[in-house]
Amino acid sequence: MKKISVATDYSDVSGNAVRYAAELALHFNARLYIVHVYESPVFFTSEMPYTAVEAAEKVAMQEAEGRMNDLKESISKEFPKLDFEPVVKRGLTSDLVVEIVNDLNAELLVTGVTGAGAVERALVGSTTTAIINNSRIPVMVIPDGAAFKGISKIVYTTDLKESNITEVNQILPFANSMNAEISFLFIDNTLHADAEEFAEVMSDKIPTLIKYQKISGYICTDPDVMNGISLFLKEQSAEMICMLTHKRKFPAMLWDPSVTKRFSYHPEIPLMVLHHTS
């Protein structure tokens, strides 16, 4: 991994994500791009004079660049060996962040949790989930307070379908660089009476499809998938959870968000979101 990007809105939460991304970049000896996108500060109307619009835009730009300079100075002091570059642009945050990251050919996009409320999540979604939806590369969501201290166990949630299992190949270089174990987790929320088929996939199919030495598989029963995942993470003391996101059509996406999106609102540990490669 040679290029890592991180999105910041200069909040404390995103500041923590920047520092986590900095530690990752140092681990991989990668270049870090710190990306900030600012939006127009006021609602413009046709009656407003152009000079007023221009002045407001200039103030917004100066504030965004000034705060980036402050962040740049702070990061330079805290991580003197870090190779990084700040990027500041104006536009729609979630769309432009992803566009910038794509143009940079970054291999990972790191972001904090924006903490959208229940109504906002249902109607428009938080910036974090919008980035997840639009990104073509893996997105790593960092909860407030998380600190990078290496990763020895990664939990990958799976529905045991081959198309889901094989996407783990995306993170094998990441896991291998840290000598991390990858634990496949299947939550049986139907309380299936006969688990022989599930066990067969875990013991035979996964090792066949995934050529990685440190893998394990677990089947847990819980009528609430989210609760089952949370309990497992606590029991296993995992440092990262990895999920494959699925595209959903409107309006189903408003009322039935995927487990990945729901988990991204308040992740307990860093969450790596993968996208289908095929």
Instruction: Give the per-residue pLDDT at 255.
Output: 40
150 Cα distance to chain centroid = 17
Which helix (H) or strand (E) segment holds residue 259: the answer is helix 259-265
Q: How big is the CA angle at 183 (ends 262 and 210), to the nearest 5 degrees?
A: 110
Architecture of the domain whose range is 3-142: 3-Layer(aba) Sandwich (3.40)
Give me the DSSP letters along 105-125. T-SEEEEE-----HHHHHHT-
Reading the chain (278 residues) residue by residue, the pLDDT tens digits are: 899 999 998 988 899 999 999 999 999 999 999 999 987 765 555 565 656 556 667 887 888 899 999 999 999 999 999 999 999 998 887 888 999 999 999 999 999 875 444 433 333 346 777 888 888 899 999 988 889 989 999 999 998 889 999 999 999 999 999 999 999 999 888 766 566 777 777 888 899 999 999 999 998 888 888 888 888 988 888 999 999 886 654 333 334 456 666 665 556 789 899 988 86
Cα separation, 7 vs 68, in Å, equals: 12
Instruction: Give the per-residue pLDDT at 250.
Output: 39
> What is the end-to-end Cα distance of the chain in Å, rounded?
21
Kindly state the tokens that stand for 160.
């045991």
Instruction: Give the per-residue pLDDT at 256.
Output: 46
Kindly state the tokens that stand for 89.
């642009």
Residue 15: C-alpha distances to residues 128, 143, 269 (Å): 14, 11, 16
Kindly state the tokens that stand for 253.
């996406």
Instruction: Give φ, ψ of 17 to 5 degrees.
Output: -65, -40
Classify domain 153-274 at the CATH topology level.
Answer: Rossmann fold (3.40.50)
Cα separation, 138 vs 273, in Å, equals: 6
Instruction: Give the per-residue pLDDT at 62.
Output: 87
Burial of 169 (0-12, 13-18, 19+ CB in 10 A): middle
Do residues 241 and 267 touch, judged by C-beta distance below 8 A? yes
- The reported pTM is 0.84
Kindly give the pairing relationship between strand 153-157 and strand 271-274.
unpaired
Which helix (H) or strand (E) segment holds residue 240: the answer is strand 240-244
Asked if domains 3-142 and 153-274 share a fold, the reply is yes
Peptide bond into 207 cis (omega under 30): no
86 Cα distance to chain centroid = 20
Cα separation, 264 vs 128, in Å, equals: 8
